[in-house]
């Protein structure tokens, strides 16, 4: 396949970015999207030009490093799929593809398609931990947890921190991410001692990081490559109100 790529190029956080057009030729349908970019970068390097900067690590959909908006959709056209797991068979010969970074005040562009997501790290640091002694792995199995509760906690724990939810949200809200990171601890017995303090601290940190407010669009849930449910946001809101009412902690 031959494709036309329009890629956001921005040399530094301070500089003004713009789209630059590249022709990607002889693209194999079995390549991943990132492998296609690797080939484009190889050609750029051969020509003495600066390669396109983008984040990646595992390329298996588990680390959360990759992330870019492809034709207006975070992670591209496939449901429940990170952009590193997107393959070029999603496209046809002659297609035009627009590639840009996450757009959010709390995710400033570092370079080209790379954004600074350390705001997520600070939200996790604010409350994403437990202080209860849990012993060794066999000890964890000694604490009975209803199956439906452990399933919901595991589902929330699937969040890989990629930031697609923020990129998809018209308000650039981080509520889906924050709720997933709070819920997987708040549902478990081991997470109860800090439950309400955790919710307060994580939400306050989220607000301090300049993320927008949630207005229930639901675009985050659609964009999430891990299928994180907005039911987690409802639980976070309930716990937040309980914490504010002073009925806990
Ligand atoms: S909730 Fe989904 S979209 Fe948001 S950071 Fe987690 S995995 Fe990514
Ligand atoms: S590179 Fe790890 S999830 Fe895409």
- Work out the average pLDDT over 45-60: 98
What share of the chain has pLDDT > 90, as a percent? 93
Q: Judge if the beta carbon of residue 58 lies within 6 A of ligand 2.
A: yes
Which tens digits make up the pLDDT trace of 200-225?
Answer: 999 999 999 999 999 999 999 999 99
**Ligand 1 atom 1, closest CA:** 177
- pLDDT tier at 140, thresholds 50, 70, 90: confident
Q: What is the 3-state secondary structure (H, E, C) of 61-76?
A: CCCCCCCCEECCEECC
Residue 247: the pLDDT is: 60
Alpha helices in the chain (DSSP H): 33-46, 118-127, 137-140, 147-157, 164-168, 175-186, 195-208, 219-223, 231-244
Average pLDDT, the chain: 96
* Average pLDDT of the residues in 172-199: 96
Q: Whose alpha carbon is nearest atom 2 of ligand 1?
A: 224
pLDDT exceeds cutoff 60 at 249: no
Whether the predicted pLDDT of 142 surpasses 90:
no
Question: What atom in ligand 2 is closest to the CA of residue 56?
Answer: 1
pLDDT at 141: 80
What is the rounded distance in angstroms from the CA atom of residue 157 to the CA atom of residue 185?
9
Task: Write the pLDDT tens digit of every residue in 63-103.
Answer: 999 999 999 999 999 999 999 999 999 999 999 999 999 99
Ligand nearest to the CA of 33: 2
Of 101, 232, 39, 76, which is closest to residue 154 (Cα–Cα)? 232
For residue range 95-135, list pLDDT tens digits in order: 999 999 999 999 999 999 999 999 999 999 999 999 988 88
Q: What is the pLDDT of residue 219?
A: 97
Mutation test residue for ligand 2: of 38, 55, 60, 67, the one with most atoms within 8 Å of CB: 60
| Over residues 189-194, mean pLDDT | 94
pLDDT over threshold 80, residue 248? no
| pLDDT score of 135 | 82
Q: How far is the CA of 116 from the centre of ligand 2 (A)?
A: 16
pLDDT beyond 50 at 21: yes
Ligand 2 pocket member 84 (CB < 6 A): yes
């Amino acid at each position: 396949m031959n494709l036309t790529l329009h890629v956001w190029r921005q040399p530094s956080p301070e500089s003004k970015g713009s789209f630059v057009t590249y022709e990607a030729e002889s693209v194999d349908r079995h390549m991943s999207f990132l492998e296609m970019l690797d080939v484009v970068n190889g050609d750029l390097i051969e020509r003495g030009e600066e390669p396109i900067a983008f984040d990646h690590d595992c390329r298996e959909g588990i680390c959360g490093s990759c992330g870019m908006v492809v034709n207006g959709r975070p992670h591209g056209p496939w449901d429940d799929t990170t952009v590193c797991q997107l393959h070029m068979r999603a496209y046809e010969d002659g297609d035009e593809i627009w590639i840009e970074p996450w757009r959010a005040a709390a995710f400033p562009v570092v370079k080209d398609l790379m954004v600074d997501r350390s705001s997520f790290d600070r939200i996790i640091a604010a409350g994403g931990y437990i202080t209860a002694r849990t012993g060794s792995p066999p000890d964890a199995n000694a604490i009975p947890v209803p199956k439906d509760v452990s399933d919901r906690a595991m589902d929330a724990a699937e969040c890989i921190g990629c930031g697609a939810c923020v990129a998809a949200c018209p308000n650039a809200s981080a509520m889906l991410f924050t709720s997933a990171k709070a819920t997987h601890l708040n549902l478990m017995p081991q997470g109860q001692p800090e439950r309400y303090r955790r919710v307060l601290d994580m939400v306050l940190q989220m607000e301090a990081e300049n993320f927008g407010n949630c207005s229930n669009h639901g675009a985050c849930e659609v964009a999430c490559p891990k299928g994180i449910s907005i039911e987690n946001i409802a639980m976070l809101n309930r716990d937040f109100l309980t914490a504010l009412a002073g009925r806990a902690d």
